[in-house]
Amino acid sequence: MASGMGPDELVRLAHIARQHFVAGKTRIEIAEELGLSRFKVGRLLDDAINSGIIRFEIAVPGPIDDERSSALQRQYALKRAVVVRTPTELPDAVQEQLGRVGADLLREIAGPDDILGLTAGRTLNQLGQALSSFAIGEVVQLAGVAGPVHATGVEVIRRVSSVAHGRAWTLYAPLIASDIAAAEAIRRQHDVAQTLRQFDRVTVALVAIGSWDPPDSQFYDNLGITLARRNALEDKGVVADIGAILIDGQGRVVDDVQQQCISIDAAGLRRIPEVVGIAGGGRKTGAVRAALASGLIDSLVTDSALAARLLEE
C-alpha cells in the first residue's frame, strides 16, 4: 500500500481526490461534506499527490509534440511553433501530416476579416486538400508559378478560396522571367498588377520553405534559371528559398535575382503581421534553420525529427 497507508486512509484520500479533481468540488465544499477544515482537505490532497494516488498526465490529443513545440518556440523566439509527430521522414508522409495540422492551425489563427497570403508547395497543396469549413475574406498568391500543376500557387489558391468562399487573387505568371525586362513587362499586365497590389493587405501568410542543399525546391528546379546562374547563387551560399526570396546559411537574403521574379520580396514579407513557415522532412533541416535565422517567418509548423535537430543547437 502507498507509503504504509491503511485501506481506510487510501479510500478517503482517493474519494477526496475524485471529488476535487474529477467532480470539480472546492476544498471548502469537500470540507463541509466530510466535517473537516479546508486546510485539512488541502493537506490530504497533498498526501494523495505525494503518495502516488493522484498522478497527473498532460497529453495533447493527436500527433502534436507539445514539449518540442514549446521548446522550439522558446529557443527561436517564435510567435507559434507546432511540431508534428510523423511515422516516418518520407516526404509524402511528412507533407500529408503537416498539411493536415497546418489546415487546423489556419482555421485557428485566421478568419473572415483576414486576408491570407500563400506560396506554392507540396505541403501547402496537402493543406488545401485537408481544409474544410473555413472562412477567409480573401486569398492572395504571393509568388508566380514554378512547379508541377498540382502544387502551384494557383492550384493551392483555388483549393483554399473554394473552401473558404473568399476572393482569390491569383498570379498567372512564371515565378522567374527570362530577364528583368520580361519581368517588368509581366508585372505591368493588368491581372498580375492587381494581385501584386494586394501584397500589402495580407494579414496572415503561410509559406513553404525550399531547400537548395540538398535540393528540394521548386525554385531550384525551375527552368527559368540557368545552371550557371544557379551555380553562382550556390557559390553565394544560398541554401533556402521562400517563394522567390533566396536565403544563405546565415539567414541573409541574397536578392541577385529578385528583380527577375514575380513574387513578394523580403521587405514585403516582413510587413505581413504573421508569417507561418511550413516545412519538414530530412532534406529541409538546413533550409528551415536558415529561414528561422532570417527573421522572415514568425511561426513554424514542422515535424518532430526536424525539430529535434533544430533543438540540438
- Cα separation of the two ends of the chain: 45
d(CA 96, CA 138) in angstroms, rounded, equals 25
Q: Which residues contact 23 (CB under 8 A, 6 or more apart)?
A: none
Architecture of domain 2-50: Orthogonal Bundle (1.10)
Which pTM value belongs to this model? 0.85
Give pLDDT, residue 147.
61
Give pLDDT, residue 9.
84
Give pLDDT, residue 151.
55
Which amino acid belongs to residue 198? Answer: Q
d(CA 64, CA 190) in angstroms, rounded, equals 43
Give pLDDT, residue 198.
98
What is the greatest pairwise CA distance in the chain?
87
Distances (CA, A) of 261 to 147, 173, 229, 246, 265: 14, 10, 14, 11, 9
Name which CATH class applies to 66-311: alpha beta
Instruction: Please indicate whether the domains covering 2-50 and 66-311 agree at the CATH topology level.
Output: no
In order along its 313 residues, the chain shows pLDDT tens digits of: 555 677 778 888 999 999 999 999 999 999 999 999 999 999 999 999 998 898 887 777 789 999 999 999 999 999 999 999 998 888 999 999 999 999 999 999 999 999 999 998 899 999 999 998 888 989 999 999 876 555 566 888 888 888 888 899 999 999 999 999 999 999 999 999 999 999 999 999 999 999 999 999 989 988 788 899 999 999 999 999 999 999 999 999 999 999 999 999 999 999 999 999 999 999 999 999 999 999 999 999 999 999 999 999 7
Which conformational region is residue 123 in: left (phi greater than 0), alpha (psi within -120 to 50 degrees), or beta?
A: alpha
* DSSP result, 186-252: HHHSHHHHHHHTTGGG-SEEEEE-EEETTEE-TTTT-TTS-HHHHHHHHHTTEEEEETTEEEETTS-
**pLDDT tens for residues 252-276?**
999 999 999 999 999 999 999 999 9
Torsion sign across C-alpha atoms 85, 90, 95, 297? positive
* Cell triple for 270: 516582413
Domain ranges of the chain: 2-50, 66-311
